[in-house]
């Protein structure tokens, strides 16, 4: 009981941005389930804004900590893992789409866990999950038929050994 209370007491401004990321991801899933893919996509994009802002605030205030890192990954799996998969599945109930969506979400878990233990700070190994989500949603927006294959491509890129340079904004 004290552990949860202590965690709540350590919440900082950047953590509320992280929670807003996760809440936006949840709203994306809600709209995907409600057959409103445009609103669902919009909430993933809003999640991206909150994810960017929480990272920026953490860097500028030097307030990065282990709790915030874990909280960020949990929000990211909802917003950039489950939400894009739900959006694609809202349009395609084919078994292949479901298999690709499961693979995509599992790759997202792996990618985020690997990031949390990564020692190198100037690069990403494997496509970061926000980039994977944006790839899937871009393809979905232009071609619902190709979207399940975008899930598969993003899955492969997330768990690949490809090195992606970190961008600073």
**How many residues appear in the chain?**
169
Q: Give pLDDT tens digits for 112-152.
A: 999 888 877 777 889 999 999 999 999 999 999 999 999 99
Tell me which residues of the chain have a pLDDT lower than 70.
1-11, 167-169
CA separation, residue 71 to residues 19, 66, 77, 105 (Å): 8, 9, 10, 17
Would you say 142 and 166 are in contact if contact means Cβ atoms under 8 Å apart?
Answer: no
What gap in Å lies between CA 79 and CA 50, rounded to an integer? 10
Give pLDDT, residue 66. Answer: 84
Give pLDDT, residue 169. Answer: 58
């Amino acid at each position: 009981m004290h552990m949860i209370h202590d965690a709540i007491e350590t919440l900082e401004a950047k953590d509320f941005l992280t929670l807003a990321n996760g809440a936006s991801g949840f709203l994306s899933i809600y709209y995907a389930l409600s057959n409103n893919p445009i609103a669902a996509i919009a909430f993933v994009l809003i999640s991206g804004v909150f994810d960017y802002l929480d990272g920026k605030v953490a860097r500028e205030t030097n307030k990065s900590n282990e709790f915030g890192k874990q909280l960020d990954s949990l929000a990211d799996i909802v917003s950039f893992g489950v939400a894009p998969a739900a959006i694609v599945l809202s349009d395609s109930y084919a078994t292949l789409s479901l298999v690709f969506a499961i693979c995509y979400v599992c790759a997202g878990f792996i990618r985020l866990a690997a990031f949390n233990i990564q020692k190198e700070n100037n690069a990403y190994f494997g496509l970061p999950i926000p980039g994977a989500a944006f790839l899937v949603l871009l393809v979905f927006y232009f071609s619902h038929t190709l979207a399940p294959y975008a899930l598969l491509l993003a899955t492969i890129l997330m768990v690949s050994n490809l090195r992606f340079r970190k961008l600073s904004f």
